[in-house]
Amino acid sequence: MELYKNEEKLDRVMNNYKKIREALAGLNDIITINFNENNFYHAAAVDNLKALHKNVLEILKSSFTPREIRIRLRELEFDEEEAEKVFPL
Protein backbone atom coordinates (compact mmCIF):
# COMPACT_ATOMS: atom_id res chain seq x y z
CA MET A 1 0.00 0.00 0.00
CA GLU A 2 2.82 2.42 0.91
CA LEU A 3 4.60 1.70 -2.38
CA TYR A 4 1.41 2.54 -4.27
CA LYS A 5 1.08 5.85 -2.42
CA ASN A 6 4.69 6.70 -3.25
CA GLU A 7 4.05 5.96 -6.94
CA GLU A 8 0.94 8.12 -6.86
CA LYS A 9 2.88 10.94 -5.21
CA LEU A 10 5.67 10.66 -7.78
CA ASP A 11 3.09 10.80 -10.60
CA ARG A 12 1.68 14.06 -9.20
CA VAL A 13 5.14 15.53 -8.66
CA MET A 14 6.29 14.67 -12.19
CA ASN A 15 3.11 16.12 -13.67
CA ASN A 16 3.76 19.34 -11.77
CA TYR A 17 7.39 19.32 -12.93
CA LYS A 18 6.23 19.01 -16.53
CA LYS A 19 3.94 22.03 -16.09
CA ILE A 20 6.70 24.06 -14.42
CA ARG A 21 9.17 23.23 -17.17
CA GLU A 22 6.66 24.18 -19.86
CA ALA A 23 5.98 27.48 -18.07
CA LEU A 24 9.71 28.21 -17.80
CA ALA A 25 10.18 27.45 -21.50
CA GLY A 26 7.27 29.77 -22.31
CA LEU A 27 8.78 32.54 -20.22
CA ASN A 28 12.10 32.00 -21.96
CA ASP A 29 10.34 32.40 -25.33
CA ILE A 30 8.67 35.63 -24.18
CA ILE A 31 11.98 37.02 -22.93
CA THR A 32 13.73 36.08 -26.17
CA ILE A 33 11.02 37.76 -28.26
CA ASN A 34 11.05 40.95 -26.20
CA PHE A 35 14.77 41.41 -25.53
CA ASN A 36 17.85 41.20 -27.70
CA GLU A 37 20.09 38.35 -26.55
CA ASN A 38 22.85 40.88 -25.82
CA ASN A 39 20.53 42.87 -23.53
CA PHE A 40 21.29 42.79 -19.79
CA TYR A 41 17.63 42.10 -18.93
CA HIS A 42 17.56 39.12 -21.28
CA ALA A 43 20.68 37.64 -19.68
CA ALA A 44 19.42 38.29 -16.14
CA ALA A 45 16.00 36.80 -16.87
CA VAL A 46 17.44 33.67 -18.51
CA ASP A 47 19.86 33.19 -15.60
CA ASN A 48 16.94 33.37 -13.18
CA LEU A 49 14.90 30.87 -15.21
CA LYS A 50 17.85 28.47 -15.23
CA ALA A 51 18.22 28.87 -11.46
CA LEU A 52 14.51 28.12 -10.96
CA HIS A 53 14.77 25.00 -13.11
CA LYS A 54 17.87 23.82 -11.26
CA ASN A 55 16.19 24.32 -7.89
CA VAL A 56 13.08 22.43 -8.96
CA LEU A 57 15.31 19.52 -9.99
CA GLU A 58 17.13 19.68 -6.65
CA ILE A 59 13.80 19.48 -4.81
CA LEU A 60 12.88 16.43 -6.88
CA LYS A 61 16.22 14.78 -6.12
CA SER A 62 15.76 15.34 -2.40
CA SER A 63 12.32 13.72 -2.51
CA PHE A 64 12.97 10.80 -4.84
CA THR A 65 15.95 8.82 -6.10
CA PRO A 66 17.56 9.99 -9.34
CA ARG A 67 16.60 6.63 -10.89
CA GLU A 68 12.91 7.16 -10.09
CA ILE A 69 13.07 10.63 -11.60
CA ARG A 70 14.79 9.42 -14.79
CA ILE A 71 12.25 6.65 -15.27
CA ARG A 72 9.37 9.12 -14.83
CA LEU A 73 10.91 11.63 -17.20
CA ARG A 74 11.06 8.92 -19.85
CA GLU A 75 7.51 7.82 -19.14
CA LEU A 76 6.30 11.39 -19.58
CA GLU A 77 8.23 11.51 -22.88
CA PHE A 78 10.09 14.70 -22.11
CA ASP A 79 12.38 15.87 -24.81
CA GLU A 80 15.39 16.32 -22.55
CA GLU A 81 17.56 17.51 -25.42
CA GLU A 82 15.24 20.48 -25.90
CA ALA A 83 15.14 21.13 -22.15
CA GLU A 84 18.94 21.15 -22.06
CA LYS A 85 18.99 23.81 -24.80
CA VAL A 86 16.77 26.05 -22.70
CA PHE A 87 18.02 25.04 -19.24
CA PRO A 88 21.55 23.65 -19.49
CA LEU A 89 22.71 22.10 -16.23
Is pTM beyond 0.85? Reply is no
From first to last of its 89 residues, the chain has per-residue pLDDT tens of 555 677 788 888 888 888 988 899 899 999 989 988 899 999 999 999 989 988 888 887 777 777 777 777 776 655 556 666 666 64
Q: Which long-range contacts (CB under 8 A, 24 or more apart) does 58-67 make?
A: 60/13, 60/17, 63/13, 64/10, 64/13
pLDDT for res 65? 77
pLDDT for res 17? 85
User: Where in the chain are the domains?
Assistant: 2-86
